[in-house]
Structure 1
């Protein structure tokens, strides 16, 4: 058994090599053994190709600002493992990680001898999360889906509300090769007679989701149908401003620090979910608490300005839909800047589709690199699959970033993008460098 945090973490991370193992039978077995912790707290279950993390950030800030306790479960972590499980923005303690790992480990040994085989890292962490929140019991827990929805480890939850933020092509090896197949997987979180809030989802994915919701008798509130956001362009800062309108609630001049029109859509979707949950659970809020919550909301490596001089932005655009919104934000907010781009990715991503988006970045200078991680795309992978002809290739990403940060001029921007796992390492490296 584990006596230190490092021992517990090392064991958890050894499960990473198992890769995704679709199906929730192992989780159902675990929850039965643990006396069903997943049934002992209230939650909002959140799926989507992109926008899940930002939505969790907005909801966390909204609930906290209104005086309610809020737990969150997200992945991957950006700076430290403990941030995957948080209460009121505070990471789970090292001591709690050790205690939870010691509860799960004997069950891991037991199930390893069955037909289902050993647990994955995500299953271990998800089980730890369910146990933790069953004891802490915040007013609401925000559960971010790990992969897909239907067969995701979190899909044994008993939520009071479900959300689907966006649908796009990602994880096609596992979720399917068409938008309809991916939408079907994401819609797997829809529960019978549990309401659903959906973001700005286009056809044909929207129809797939609405049909499943109808079958489940799940009431749906949809962006641009039941609620909407009106963008208010602002040239004085890099924040976004918008007005929100729903059937029985309007709020003007909302300000968020996360950049991009897609963040307005994420924020509006989060606000609709917040209103629905609070009204159903009789939790108080005011228009002032909502404005304050949005003003305080923050989510790392989503168009995050980590340095003003030189101007350095981190953005985890790791699939085609995310690259599309990244390009839109760059063209809107930084159209006069020359953009030096650093990109690294995993082989599991649709690199052939991402390459053309990289080349569409205006005034670009593209640097491709790699990092130490399972399934990472090597320089050869990037060269063969991205098809970016004018790129420079670098084996050592730390040396590359050191060189670029001292060479960025006032009319330039250093954009570091790609895999969230890569951005996690870069952010940690740059923050350490600042100290």
Structure 2
């Protein structure tokens, strides 16, 4: 038994070195032992290469604006571990983490003696989440997949709706080399008879979704066919404005503060999911609550401007699809700025192509750095694989930020990007320890 939150966290994090264990056999065993908490609350299960966190944020804001209580499960955390499990945007309290860790520790000891073997960190945290929401009622719980879908720890869920945001190449060593193979893994969250909402997908990925949904007799609602956007344009303060059309409702001049065309897609996909869920359970909402919910949505390190003077923006473009949408948005919105880029990434990413993409921003200057994380690429590796001279590299990312901020012109912009784990540390450093 753990006496303190700190002891519980130390135990949870010592599971980290075990790496992923594909499959949900251990999770099914845990759910049985915990008296099936996954069946005790309504949920929406969310998978996709990118956009999962943003869809969670939009959905949470939409439900809260309409007056409902919303639970969330997300990863990785940006500032605090506790934000992985939240209710109405408030992190799970330390005492509840401690309580759930003690419940899971006893089961961890038991399962470790079986052929199934010990649990990973993500399995422990996922089981804690199911146990917590099984005893803390919410109107809806938003469950973000950790990796893939079919074999992800969250896939013991019995959701009321499934949502698949985007499909792109990432984690190919685990999920497959082609979009169809990756789509098959993501489509694993589609359950028998459970409606599924699909974001903007390439045709070969969409085909896999259609086939899976048909086999599961799951009604499918696809972006561009069953719901759509139009009249997308830029509003004030870099906001995006668009119209939304669906048989469930038509809304004009919807406004979001999260930047980029991909966020318009995310907002539309989340709105379709929200409308479906509300129809299924006869929940009340209005055009006013929808507009305020979308406009009020915030999500850290997604083209997040953390300072105007100097102008600093954070974005967790941690893979090729995310880097593509970042570079496209920056070219469109910030063509008037002198852009300095600081990047740190994981070594198992396609660093060569990521480097080509980020360096395609006109007038930009790329600098690289590293951070303390087991899979982080070294400065030397980033220089070699991204074609960056050692003169533009920094061994210490904190010094890099301070140095690049100090050198920034009035027309300048410092864009810090790459791994979400890196951006988590950067955001904490800038917002908690600095003048802005």
Q: Counterpart in 1 of 2:142?
A: 142
* 1:181 and 2:185 are equivalent in the alignment: no
What is the CA-CA distance between 1:374 and the residue it aligns to?
Answer: 1.6
Paired residue secondary structure (1:159): coil
* 1:41 and 2:21 are equivalent in the alignment: no
Paired residue secondary structure (2:233): coil
Change (3 A) 1:170 1:252: same
Deviations 1:259-308 (A, max 9, x none): 00110000000000000001101111111100011111100000000000
What is the CA-CA distance between 1:388 and the residue it aligns to?
Answer: 4.0
Q: Does the CA contact (< 8 Å) of 2:383 and 2:390 recur in 1?
A: no
Q: Counterpart in 2 of 1:284?
A: 284
Change (3 A) 1:258 1:65: same
Q: Counterpart in 1 of 2:99?
A: 99
Q: Counterpart in 2 of 1:86?
A: 86
Q: Counterpart in 2 of 1:211?
A: 211
State the distance in 2 between where 1:119 and 1:387 align: 40
Deviations 1:96-148 (A, max 9, x none): 00000000001111111222211111100000000010011200000000000
Deviations 1:132-181 (A, max 9, x none): 10011200000000000000000000000000000000001110111111
Paired residue secondary structure (1:340): strand
Q: Write the mapping of 1:248-287 to structure 2, written as runs, cut at 5 A.
A: 248-287=248-287
Deviations 1:177-235 (A, max 9, x none): 11111000000000010000000111111101111111111101111001011143235
State the distance in 2 between where 1:80 and 1:267 align: 25
Q: Which moved more, 1:357-366 or 1:90-99?
A: 357-366
Q: Counterpart in 2 of 1:158?
A: 158
Paired residue secondary structure (1:233): strand
Question: Where does structure 1 lack aligned partners over 5 or more consecutive residues?
Answer: none
Q: Does the CA contact (< 8 Å) of 1:366 and 1:390 recur in 2?
A: no
Q: Counterpart in 1 of 2:435?
A: 434
Deviations 1:398-421 (A, max 9, x none): 011011112211211100000000
Q: Write the mapping of 1:25-424 to structure 2, written as runs, cut at 5 A.
A: 25-234=25-234, 236-388=236-388, 392-424=392-424
State the distance in 1 between where 2:38 and 2:326 align: 36
Q: Number of aligned residue pairs: give it.
A: 435
Q: Which moved more, 1:258-267 or 1:246-255?
A: 246-255
Paired residue secondary structure (1:30): helix
State the distance in 2 between where 1:324 and 1:391 align: 26
State the distance in 2 between where 1:253 and 1:290 align: 11
Paired residue secondary structure (1:237): helix
Q: Does the CA contact (< 8 Å) of 1:342 and 1:367 recur in 2?
A: yes
What is the CA-CA distance between 1:390 and the residue it aligns to?
Answer: 8.3
State the distance in 2 between where 1:355 and 1:333 align: 20
Change (3 A) 1:15 1:192: same
Q: Counterpart in 1 of 2:6?
A: 6
What is the CA-CA distance between 1:258 and the residue it aligns to?
Answer: 0.2
State the distance in 1 between where 2:278 and 2:389 align: 52
Q: Does the CA contact (< 8 Å) of 1:356 and 1:388 recur in 2?
A: no
What is the CA-CA distance between 1:354 and the residue it aligns to?
Answer: 1.2
Deviations 1:48-69 (A, max 9, x none): 0000000000000000000011
State the distance in 1 between where 2:320 and 2:292 align: 33
State the distance in 2 between where 1:231 and 1:361 align: 26
The structure 1 segments of at least 4 consecutive aligned residues displaced by more than 2 Å after TM superposition are 234-237, 383-391
Paired residue secondary structure (1:204): helix
What is the CA-CA distance between 1:389 and the residue it aligns to?
Answer: 5.5
State the distance in 2 between where 1:142 and 1:369 align: 34
TM-score when scaled to structure 2? 0.98
Q: Does the CA contact (< 8 Å) of 1:305 and 1:314 recur in 2?
A: yes
Paired residue secondary structure (2:285): coil
Question: Where does structure 2 lack aligned partners over 5 or more consecutive residues?
Answer: none
Q: Does the CA contact (< 8 Å) of 2:258 and 2:303 recur in 1?
A: yes
What is the CA-CA distance between 1:338 and the residue it aligns to?
Answer: 1.3
